[in-house]
Amino acid sequence: MNYLDLVLANDDRFKFVEVSFAEFDKPSKTYTYKSNIELVESDLVVVPIGQLDQNIFKTARVIKVMDPFDCDFSFNTKWIAGLVDLTKYVDTLKYEAEARVIVNKAKAKKAMAEALEEIKLKLDSDELSKLDDLSSKI
């Protein structure tokens, strides 16, 4: 029995969570970690894997914030190293998508203007006048 984890489980400042290393929404085995960070289901977290002195970390998805009574205190649990904040990343992706729309509209506008200039070069003044008359009736 891990008495330290048992003591922590009775302190509201600490939580035990199940995480999964599943990739591409495939089911995966879950692992228990402890945390002093407020977490909710589906949060992306950084967790140590392997021996603690190896400093190897991996991202995992929080599957469940556990009730202390559901915890298995027969083994040592590791601490969650941090919560991944995707705010800047998501904002950057939104900016990039909006910028792409603006650039594509500008390219289309330029292509349209070039096409109109090419047409004007191929038409004589009488034909251009007829086009202007038609467009004024719209």
End-to-end CA distance of the chain: 84
pLDDT tens digits, one per residue of 19-74: 998 776 666 788 889 899 999 999 999 999 988 778 899 999 999 998 776 767 66
Which pLDDT score, from 0 to 100, does residue 130 have? 78
Whether residues 57 and 103 share a domain: the answer is: no
Question: Count of alpha carbons within 13 Å of 135, Cβ hemisphere only?
Answer: 6
- Say whether pLDDT at 75 is over 90: no
DSSP state of 109: H
pLDDT tens digits, one per residue of 83-137: 999 999 999 999 999 999 999 999 999 998 888 888 877 777 777 777 777 777 7
Whether residues 12 and 56 share a domain: the answer is: yes
DSSP state of 16: E
Whether residues 109 and 64 share a domain: the answer is: no
Whether residues 37 and 78 share a domain: the answer is: yes
Distance CA 20, CA 36 (A): 18
Whether residues 11 and 69 share a domain: the answer is: yes
Q: In the structure encoding, which two tokens stand for residue 133, read together? A: 């008359």
Tell me phi and psi for residue 136, to 5 degrees: -75, -20
- What is the span of the domain harbouring residue 22? 3-84
Q: How many domains does the chain have?
A: 2
